[in-house]
Amino acid sequence: MDFELKSVSLAEAASWSADALVVLVSDSPASAASDSPLAALIAQAHGSGALESGVAKLLSAYQVSGVQAARVLLVRAGDGSPSSVRKAVAAAVGALKQPGIQKIALMLGLIEPDGDAVSAAVQACAEASYVYTHTKPSAKARALRRVVIGVSKPDAVRDGFAYGKALVVGMEVAKEWANRPANHATPSMLADCARQLGRKPGFKTEVLGPKEVKALGMGAFLAVAQGSAEPLRFIVLRYNGGTKSSAPVVLVGKGITFDTGGISIKPAAEMDEMKYDMGGAASVLGTFAALAEARPAINVVGLIPSCENMPDGLAIKPGDVVTSMSGQTIEILNTDAEGRLILCDALSYAARFKPRAVVDIATLTGACVIALGAVRSGLFSPDDGLAAALQQAGEAALDPCWRMPLDDDYAEGLKSNFADMGNVAGRAAGSITAAKFLQKFTAELNWAHLDIAGTAWKSGAAKGATGRPVPLLLRYLVSEAQSPLPDVPPRRKAPAKRPHKG
């Protein structure tokens, strides 16, 4: 989509050439000049009660005298906050989602938006008009091609406008790859997407296959992948926006491109949605696509361990013991708890970058969906500073998370008689015990874990990827680039590494 930011008054907006003109209005009557046709329309709508109160309430008008656009939509934007603007614009663009609407003029000047509100408007335009077409030739592609946004003071919101455009690019990459079925989004295909990103200035991509992963001693990752005919891929993305001496932030995305549950097989109902089990990987790819547009002054590394979890004759079995890259052994009590197995080796690999922070992103547990639903992602971190930074980023980006506990007592259930740990600890507090498992591989790291099982996609009639938590991640990275924190030293010594036994 093409976005343009212009300085426009309400009177000038009447002469805009567009298929539809959308005007966001507050709950109080507009104070524009009485001789403006749009001001007259707004005053009449307020006076007659035709435009109901409440954010995102709409009034549609056709062939308004003195207005060039054939269709005019007045939309309530409440207090003009980013959240209200996003709801209002999404409602308007949704109402205009039809083949004949290719250009929209969006007038925000009456609500005096800040940069975040303009960014929210850009994001809402893209989200409301998004159409998945990759494997559906019968789908009508997005008709909306151009959006012109009018404000009274463009210079004051130009940064927010540019940020919103970058975010849209990233979210659409994330949604595209998460929405693709597993046979159109294999580990090798994800690697190809990463290679394309690696061609951009300041970017670099490295892709490791089974041979290299075995040489690294990633026994947990290899164990999950061994039941599939699709070869695993370990993707390493680098964005070098900061100085060479600046420690990077590392993002680790779970890339299970399809999850049958393995030998501990899932029920058939809704198993198709397990194509979304690479939502963490998709969010890392999307964040890097956004970084290519936003170009913040920060170094970022993206790690994506990617494979399928299948139940063939070579697949791992409950009771098997595998050796992770860290040297710690793991008893596989449930093969459907596979995401933490590929992540633990990626977290061990992350330590080599001496990162300032590591954030892993994963559709990890159904327990997190029960706890937080589809509103907030689960946030786990032993570090108050990192947790606060991520929470603040999520709130500002309208992509909220909620910090969950990490008491040591929750790890009791991970004890095993036959290995250093089991990979599950029962049903109770499942999202927390999964995070406690990952924490065992982060002794050298300033680490946080985002469980996005409830927020990465929607089920039912609106089935599809959301693009979350790309907004949270991009806001966090941009904030870190603007106000860098001191490098964080290791909190404790890492466990001694044992020889890898295959």
| Residue 248 backbone dihedrals phi, psi, to 5 degrees | -85, 160
Catalytic residue positions, numbered? 266, 340
Is residue 452 exposed (0-12), middle (13-18) or buried (19+ Cβ within 10 Å)? buried
Question: Is the per-residue pLDDT at 142 higher than 90?
Answer: yes
**What is the pLDDT, as a whole number, of residue 253?**
98
Indicate the angle between helix axes 187-198 and 279-294, nearest 10 degrees.
10
CATH topology agreement for domains 2-152 and 172-482:
no
Query: Which is it for strands 146-151 and 447-451: parallel, antiparallel or unpaired?
Result: unpaired
Tell me the C-alpha distance between 156 and 116, whole Å.
Answer: 11
Residue 33 is predicted with a pLDDT of 47
Q: Looking at the predicted structure, is the pLDDT value of residue 38 above 70?
A: yes
Does residue 498 carry a pLDDT above 70?
no
Q: What radius of gyration do the chain's Cα atoms show?
A: 24
Confidence of residue 99 (pLDDT cuts 50, 70, 90): confident
Predicted pLDDT of residue 201:
96
pLDDT of residue 27: 78
Residue 484: pLDDT band with limits 50, 70, 90: low
Give me the mean pLDDT over the 41-59 stretch.
92
Of the pLDDT bands very low, low, confident and very high (cuts 50, 70, 90), residue 101 is very high
DSSP 265-323: PPPSTTGGGGGGGGHHHHHHHHHHHHHHHH--S-EEEEEEEEEEE--STTS--TT-EEE
- What local confidence, expressed as pLDDT, does residue 29 receive? 56
Closest by alpha carbon to 351, among 388, 387, 301? 301
Of all helices (H) and strands (E), which one includes residue 238? strand 233-240
Residues 379-387 have a mean pLDDT of: 98
- Asked whether residue 49 carries a pLDDT value surpassing 50, the answer given is yes
What pLDDT is stored for residue 412 in this prediction? Answer: 97
- What is the 3-class SS of 46-85, one letter each residue? HHHCCCCCCCCCEEEEECCCCCCCCEEEEEECCCCCHHHH
Residue bearing tokens 């600046």: 246
pLDDT at residue number 488 = 42
* Residue that has been written with the tokens 């597993």 in this structure: 182
Q: How many angstroms separate the CA atoms of 393 and 192, rounded? A: 30
Question: Out of 3.30.465.10, 3.40.630.10, 3.40.50.9100, 3.40.50.300, which CATH number does the structure's domain 172-482 have?
Answer: 3.40.630.10
Q: What average pLDDT does range 355-364 have in this prediction?
A: 98
What digits encode the pLDDT tens for the residues 266-316? Answer: 999 999 999 999 999 999 999 999 999 999 999 999 999 999 999 999 999
pLDDT digits (tens, 9 = 90+) for 335-352: 999 999 999 999 999 999
Per-residue pLDDT for 171 more than 60?
yes
Number of other CB atoms surrounding residue 62 within 10 Å: 9
Confidence grade of residue 490 (pLDDT, cut at 50, 70, 90) = very low
Average pLDDT, the chain: 94
pTM exceeds 0.75, yes or no: yes
CA-angle at 202, arms to 199 and 205, nearest 5°:
50
> Could you state, in order of their start, the residue ranges of all structural domains in the chain?
2-152, 172-482
Q: How many CA atoms lie within 13 A of 314 on its CB side?
A: 11
Nearest to 327 by CA among 501, 502, 497: 497
Say how far apart CA 105 and CA 331 lie, in whole Å.
Answer: 59
In what order do the strands lie in the sheet containing 421-422? 321-323, 329-331, 421-422
Task: Please give the Cα distance from 153 to 150 (Å, whole number).
Answer: 9
pLDDT of residue 46: 86
pLDDT at 487: 46
pLDDT of residue 492: 43
Give the tens place of pLDDT for each residue, 108-132: 999 999 999 999 999 999 999 999 9
363-374 pLDDT per residue, tens: 999 999 999 999
Residue (of 142, 131, 144, 62) closest to 101 by Cα position: 144
Assign domain 2-152 to its CATH superfamily: Leucine Aminopeptidase, subunit E, domain 1 (3.40.220.10)
Identify which has the larger pLDDT, 267 or 492: 267
**Residue 486: which pLDDT band, with cuts at 50, 70 and 90?**
very low
Within 13 Å of residue 368, how many CA atoms lie on the same side as its CB?
29
Span 388-402, pLDDT tens digits:
999 999 999 999 999
- Please, are residues 69 and 100 in contact by the beta-carbon 8 Å criterion? no
pLDDT of residue 34: 52
Give the end-to-end CA distance of the chain in Å, rounded to a whole number: 49
* Buried-exposed string 170-189: b where 16+ CB fall within 10 A, e elsewhere: bbbbbbbbbbbebeebbbeb
CB 7, CB 150: distance < 8 Å: yes
**To the nearest whole percent, how much of the chain has pLDDT over 70?**
95
Mean pLDDT of 208-237: 98
What are the tokens at 333?
A: 């009590």
